Amino acid sequence: MNDRGDILLASKLLEPVYPATGLMKLILTPSETEYLDAQRGYYSISWQQDSGEKAGYTLNNGQARGVAEIVDSIYPRTISAQDVKLPTRPAVPVKFKSSIIESTGSPITTFQIWASNYTGTITVISSDVPSFSRPVPVKDKNYQLTDFSGSMAIVVDGHYNYLRLDFDNQGTHSNSANIGDITEILVK
């Protein structure tokens, strides 16, 4: 409802997030919000019971409406992830580095790494110059893995001019015939 309570701005079913606890989310698309003016609005949650509606949300004072601030803004859009290049590598043990990732100005950088039977370390390194002549390990971003297969995410908080991943692949412990490897890296 709008601030005056005379116009219904939107009516949608909530999507369950954790049904066992009642946690739900409201999903509005750009086309559903495009014509909403900045204003204070109100929401109420209700469900059908018998021949009427029953409030599903009430404030401490017994009111069944919550406040929703509708602001002028830009609808968020997704940003595609970039492939991070890896060099051709000989048999293990071997140390290698990913390609250099230049900052996009975001305070958060996320790596998605896929591995197959990887044993070794992964370290996030930063630098203020693209040549990495002054490399600095990012604090608390050093991972020791043993026979790891699957996908892992590394989230780096903070503004860094340049980042890269350093790998020290030691092969696998459980099967010396399988050397293990990093198969793909995406960054966003």
Using DSSP bridges, classify how beta strands 136-157 and 94-97 pair: parallel, antiparallel or unpaired. Answer: unpaired
What is the second-level CATH architecture of the domain 82-187?
Sandwich (2.60)
Q: Where in the chain is the domain with CATH 2.60.120?
A: 82-187
Question: What's the predicted TM-score (pTM) here?
Answer: 0.56
Q: What rounded mean pLDDT belongs to the chain? A: 79
Mean pLDDT of 14-20: 78
**CB neighbourhood size of 16 (10 A):** 12
Distances from the Cα of 158 to the Cα of 93, 106, 110, 142, 166, angstroms: 32, 8, 11, 16, 19
- Give the pLDDT confidence score for residue 176 in this predicted structure: 47
pLDDT tens for residues 81-110? 888 888 766 665 678 888 999 887 778 899
SS3 32: helix
Calculate what percentage of the chain has a pLDDT beyond 70: 81
Q: Strand pairing partners for 18?
A: 23
Q: How far apart are CA 185 and CA 87, in angstroms?
A: 12
pLDDT one-digit tens code per residue, 108-119? 899 999 988 888
pLDDT of residue 9: 82
What are 33-60's pLDDT values in tens digits?
Answer: 777 777 777 777 776 777 777 666 666 6
Quick: pLDDT tens for 140-175.
888 998 888 999 999 998 889 999 999 888 765 554
